[in-house]
């Protein structure tokens, strides 16, 4: 093939490879979250990140569309977050007690998020979802959780009486509600199915769920751990104009620091207030992550959410450009999602058989694409998902699409059409 399929010469990742081997002797599996084991060609080690870029231990710098699996909505090392957090390092980073910063962030969240009469803070999305389950069970006096296949709500086990249904089909929800009358405490979903392929809700689906749950006294929970402070300043609930009873947030809400939020209607959140539902945690609401969140929300709220709108528009340009690169190279590709979170799907991608497929790095066209992008300076998640940040502007889009053309040609060379 032409030189456009050739990776730039002499990219070494040897120091990363050596560190991974060393890590495996003391860290089970070598990585700190099982999902990272799938990285292509293997988990890399990094020394620093700045704005849209991240640099590995071998000195290779990449445009980063992993954004630490989503949280870095303002990019790496944003100066406003750094300044806010540096101040807490002088003032004391953890009190295990109250401070005004948590009120300021809560007030901002109540102002922005449609379902938020009250909020509470935790540390991870997994925890936030657990509290949402606990709240809905206590509120309804029912046990069953209704969730959907390929939606991800954290790494803890689902309770035994959980129902798993196909998504985007109101009939199956109606049937389940009829089959288990007065048993279902909550319906939980990713309002945009980011983990299961970046699939948008079908026209009228969210409104239909809202209607069914309201009619049957079921708590509707939007898991906005990915969509929150990403697809829209008000979350997917704001974007689609459907208000759930409870919503959980994580990832982008503190720009890369470990904060999660449970937001909801007062009647339900009151169960925390009157101690019917226990919500605890040593690190909850600590000044460091709250300072990061306050700075993040301040940046995102400016000019009526202009930064997120720009990020979404950069993402739309990337989607169009990747589609064009694929068409030009003759590679069959679908790109699905919205500007700030989308997925490049190849037809030979294996079916998802566990929560995210924890096994080997992807092979086939997806593997070749990821490796081609990495060789051309773009770092992506192993499942083909892209996260776009406010620091991805026109220059980054242009550089990325140039890499995409190289990588699509490399895929075409390796997997010629019949």
Q: Within 13 Å and on the Cβ side, how many CA atoms surround 13? A: 19
Number of residues engaging ligand PLP in binding (CB under 6 A): 13
Determine contact, residues 233/305, Cβ cutoff 8 Å: yes
Name the catalytic one among 152, 205, 240, 379: 152
Residue 245 interacts with ligand PLP (CB under 6 A)?
no
Q: Catalytic site residue 223?
A: yes
Question: 231 or 407, CB closer to ligand PLP?
Answer: 231
Of 220, 251, 224, nearest to 239 by C-alpha is: 224
Interface of this chain with ligand PLP, residues 95 to 134, rule: CB under 6 A: 124-126, 129
Between strands 46-50 and 61-64, the pairing is: unpaired
Question: 127 or 299, CB closer to ligand PLP?
Answer: 127
Name the catalytic one among 62, 232, 240, 251: 251
> CB of residue 3 vs ligand PLP: minimum separation in angstroms?
39
**Exactly one of 56, 64, 102, 223 binds ligand PLP (CB under 6 A); which one?**
223
Question: 135 or 310, CB closer to ligand PLP?
Answer: 135
Residue 195 interacts with ligand PLP (CB under 6 A)?
yes
> CB of residue 90 vs ligand PLP: minimum separation in angstroms?
28
**Exactly one of 137, 144, 147, 153 binds ligand PLP (CB under 6 A); which one?**
153
CA distances from 19 to 8, 68, 379, 382, 383 (A): 24, 19, 19, 20, 23
Question: 261 or 310, CB closer to ligand PLP?
Answer: 261
Residue 147 interacts with ligand PLP (CB under 6 A)?
no
- CA–CA separation, 248 vs 289, rounded Å? 17
Length of the chain: 418
Four-residue CA torsion sign, 148, 154, 155, 161: negative
Q: Identify any residues that bridge with 337 across adjacent strands, giving them in sequence order.
A: 342
Of 192, 199, 251, 257, nearest to 225 by C-alpha is: 251
**Exactly one of 40, 84, 112, 226 binds ligand PLP (CB under 6 A); which one?**
226
End-to-end CA distance of the chain: 17
Interface of this chain with ligand PLP, residues 3 to 42, rule: CB under 6 A: none
Question: 194 or 233, CB closer to ligand PLP?
Answer: 194
Angle, helices 287-329 vs 100-112, to 10°: value is 40
Residue 225 interacts with ligand PLP (CB under 6 A)?
yes
Interface of this chain with ligand PLP, residues 280 to 319, rule: CB under 6 A: none
Determine contact, residues 342/393, Cβ cutoff 8 Å: no
In sequence order, what DSSP letters do the residues of 311-331 get, joined into one string? HHHHHHHHHHHHHHHHHHHT-
> CB of residue 242 vs ligand PLP: minimum separation in angstroms?
17
> CB of residue 250 vs ligand PLP: minimum separation in angstroms?
4
Name the catalytic one among 129, 223, 375, 383: 223
- CA–CA separation, 56 vs 301, rounded Å? 32
Q: Which helix (H) or strand (E) holds 104?
A: helix 100-112
157 DSSP 8-state letter: P
Q: Catalytic site residue 87?
A: no
Residue whose Cβ sits closest to ligand PLP: 125
Four-residue CA torsion sign, 308, 106, 238, 168: positive
Question: 177 or 226, CB closer to ligand PLP?
Answer: 226
Question: 186 or 226, CB closer to ligand PLP?
Answer: 226
Q: Catalytic site residue 270?
A: no
Residue 244 interacts with ligand PLP (CB under 6 A)?
no
- CA–CA separation, 120 vs 342, rounded Å? 29
**Exactly one of 49, 51, 52, 154 binds ligand PLP (CB under 6 A); which one?**
154
Question: Which residues are the active-site residues?
Answer: 152, 223, 251
Binding-site ranges for ligand PLP (CB under 6 A): 124-126, 129, 152-154, 190, 195, 223, 225-226, 250
């Amino acid at each position: 093939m032409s030189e456009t399929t050739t990776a730039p010469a002499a990219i070494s990742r040897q120091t990363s490879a050596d560190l991974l081997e060393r890590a495996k002797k003391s860290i089970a599996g070598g990585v700190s979250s099982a999902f990272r084991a799938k990285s292509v060609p293997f988990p890399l080690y990094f020394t620093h990140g700045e704005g849209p870029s991240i640099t590995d231990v071998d000195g290779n710098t990449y445009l980063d569309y992993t954004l630490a699996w989503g949280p870095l909505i303002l990019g790496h090392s944003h100066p406003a977050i750094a300044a806010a957090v540096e101040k807490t390092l002088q003032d004391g980073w953890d009190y295990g007690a109250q401070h005004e910063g948590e009120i300021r962030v809560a007030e901002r969240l109540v102002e922005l998020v449609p379902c938020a009469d009250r909020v509470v803070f935790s540390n991870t999305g997994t925890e936030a979802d657990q509290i949402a389950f606990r709240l809905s069970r206590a509120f309804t006096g029912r046990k069953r959780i209704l969730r959907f296949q390929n939606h991800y709500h954290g790494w803890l086990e689902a309770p035994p009486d959980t129902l798993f249904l196909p998504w985007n089909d109101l009939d199956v929800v109606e049937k389940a509600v009829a089959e288990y009358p007065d048993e279902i405490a909550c319906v939980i979903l990713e309002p945009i199915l980011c983990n299961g392929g970046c699939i948008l809700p079908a026209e009228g689906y969210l409104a239909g769920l809202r209607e069914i749950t309201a009619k049957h006294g079921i708590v509707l929970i939007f898991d906005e751990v990915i969509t929150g402070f990403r697809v829209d300043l008000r979350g997917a609930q704001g974007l689609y104009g459907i208000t759930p009873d409870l919503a959980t947030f994580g990832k982008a809400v503190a720009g890369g620091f470990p904060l999660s939020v449970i937001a909801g209607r007062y009647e339900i959140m009151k169960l925390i207030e009157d101690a019917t539902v226990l919500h605890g945690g040593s690190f909850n609401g600590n000044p460091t992550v709250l300072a990061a969140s306050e700075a993040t929300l301040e940046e995102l709220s400016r000019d009526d959410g202009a930064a997120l709108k720009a990020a979404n528009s950069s993402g739309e340009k990337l989607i169009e450009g990747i589609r064009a690169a694929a068409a030009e190279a003759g590679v069959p590709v679908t790109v699905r999602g919205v500007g700030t979170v989308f997925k490049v799907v190849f037809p030979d991608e294996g079916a998802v058989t566990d929560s995210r497929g924890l096994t080997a790095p992807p092979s086939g066209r997806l593997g070749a694409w990821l490796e081609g992008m990495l060789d051309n300076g773009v770092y992506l998640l192993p499942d083909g998902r892209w996260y776009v940040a406010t620091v991805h502007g026109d220059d980054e889009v242009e550089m990325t699409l140039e890499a995409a053309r190289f990588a699509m040609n490399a895929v075409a060379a390796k997997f010629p059409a019949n």
